[in-house]
Amino acid sequence: MFKRAIAYSLAIYCVGLLGMCIWLMHYPWPAQDENESADDETIVVTPPDFKAIRDTAARKEAFFAFLTPLVEQENRRMLKLRKQLATITQRANNGKLTGRDRDQLAEWSQVYGVEEGPLELTLDRLDRRINVIPVAMVLAQAAAESAWGTSRFARQGHNYFGQWCFKAGCGIVPKRRREGAVHEVTRFASIQESLTAYFHNINTHSAYHSLRLLRQEKTAQGKPLSGYELVGKLLSYSERGAPYVDELRTLIRSNGLEEPPPESIDEPTAKELSQTALPTQPLDKH
């Protein structure tokens, strides 16, 4: 009887294992080009229904698990650009700048809103704008701006960072928009698009110039970037000002997003960033 029970259990286990193997074989894994590394792969995902998760702790866990890989992917993209910029800067310092290098600098200058000027100044401004953003800062802002992914703007427009637009029909009209106001909350096609727009906003908008200066200074010194520290430069991100910064720091601290960061968060190390740091240049206000 005992042997029969063991045999029956093993049979069930084997059938289950076989079923799992068949499922894995037929799962639509994202295709990867032979010449493309895993780090360059674009992660395309559909957000979970966070509003359906009633347990607060479970919702937070799901939120971080969903968003963290996307933030890491965007940071890897920025780090790759920084390495390219460092290589071009090295050639410029050696007087070996190529025509392709100049074209690339012109393209970046257009994308990141850098005005035409002397080469050294252009390189410095690009160094300030092409950089990573601490995962803790991004997660805290996403949680605050999207109500942990449950807001109408997050669910209907993939907008996790409260970005506005000012052309009629460009987004979702806030229900409590002030009389006479024309802004809408931008509607994005995907969370990736929202995240890319957020990075571009932080890396280019004049309101966050002081944040970029601090980040550039830390990078040049080979020091790790702290989301807890950098959010102190986000007073202009919200009309709430200082209370908004306090909320972000509370989110970072209470959820253990830094000091030390969870092992699951793949932050670029201070060493990686220092390898892309440019020689110190006189700072300007761009």
Convert the pLDDT of each residue in 206-250 to its tens digit: 999 999 999 999 999 999 999 999 999 999 999 899 999 999 999
Q: What is the 3-state secondary structure (H, E, C) of the chain?
A: CHHHHHHHHHHHHHHHHHHHHHHHHHCCCCCCCCCCCHHHCCCCCCCCCHHHCCCHHHHHHHHHHHHHHHHHHHHHHHHHHHHHHHHHHHHHHCCCCCHHHHHHHHHHHHHCCCCCCCHHHHHHHHHHHCCCCCHHHHHHHHHHHHCCCCCHHHHHHCCCCCCEECCCCCEECCCCCCCCCCCEEECCCCHHHHHHHHHHHHHHCHHHHHHHHHHHHHHHCCCCCCHHHHHHHCCCCCCCCHHHHHHHHHHHHHCCCCCCCCCCCCCCCHHHHHCCCCCCCCCCCC
pLDDT band at 123 (very low <50, low <70, confident <90, very high): very high
Does 5 score more than 60 pLDDT? no
The pLDDT mean for the chain works out to: 81
| Per-residue pLDDT, 215 | 97
pLDDT in tens, 77-86: 999 999 999 9
pLDDT above 90 for 171: no
Cα 109 to its chain centre, rounded Å, is 21
Q: Are 45 and 66 in contact (CB under 8 A)?
A: yes
The string of pLDDT tens digits covering residues 21-30 is: 443 344 343 3
Q: What's the pLDDT score for residue 258?
A: 87
- For residue 41, the model assigns a pLDDT of 55
pLDDT grade for 180, boundaries at 50, 70 and 90: low
For the ranges 31-40, 63-72, 162-171, the one whose mean pLDDT is highest = 63-72
Could you give the percent of the chain with pLDDT greater than 90?
62
Higher pLDDT, residue 44 or 256: 256
- The pLDDT tens digits of the residues spanning 149-169 come to 999 989 999 999 988 787 887
Q: 226 and 76 in contact (C-beta within 8 Å)? A: no
Give me the half-sphere count of Cα atoms (radius 13 Å) on the Cβ side of residue 286: 16
65: confidence class by pLDDT, cuts 50, 70, 90:
very high
pLDDT band of residue 62 (cuts 50, 70, 90) is very high
pLDDT at 255: 95
